[in-house]
Amino acid sequence: DVKVTQSSRYLVKRTGEKVFLECVQDMDHENMFWYRQDPGLGLRLIYFSYDVKMKEKGDIPEGYSVSREKKERFSLILESASTNQTSMYLCASSLKGETSPLHFGNGTRLTVT
């Protein structure tokens, strides 16, 4: 079974802080993704990566950056947290291939005060 592990379940940060969200998958998946999930909206893609050291902007990359130094780990960085970044953050991974489903972590609920 694929396991996608997000380092924190809940985080509370102050406005302006730099925030790191970590995600590790154990199934050698090539693709990794960061989404945010807000009530009443579909999942929105922040960044994704198809390989080590590669990254691509998703639909809402502003205010975020990512790092993928190792295949199994994909980090999301909030350079200077703001209250409108309060959300549920979901990491996902998948094999290459258009039919490959996403495997999600349990999410990190981030509150920025």
Partner 1 sequence: GQNIDQPTEMTATEGAIVQINCTYQTSGFNGLFWYQQHAGEAPTFLSYNVLDGLEEKGRFSSFLSRSKGYSYLLLKELQMKDSASYLCAVKDSNYQLIWGAGTKLIIKP
List contacts with partner 1 (CB under 8 A): 4, 40-45, 90, 98-99, 101-107
Nearer to partner 1, 3 or 14 (CB): 3
- As measured in angstroms, the least distance from the Cβ of 8 to partner 1 is 14
Nearer to partner 1, 42 or 69 (CB): 42
- As measured in angstroms, the least distance from the Cβ of 34 to partner 1 is 13
Nearer to partner 1, 42 or 62 (CB): 42
Distances (CA, A) of 15 to 46, 67, 76, 80, 83: 20, 22, 17, 7, 7
Under a CB-based contact definition with an 8 Å cutoff, are residues 68 and 53 in contact? yes
- As measured in angstroms, the least distance from the Cβ of 31 to partner 1 is 11
CA distance 101 to 92: 10
Q: Is 93 exposed, middle or buried (0-12, 13-18, 19+ CB in 10 A)?
A: buried
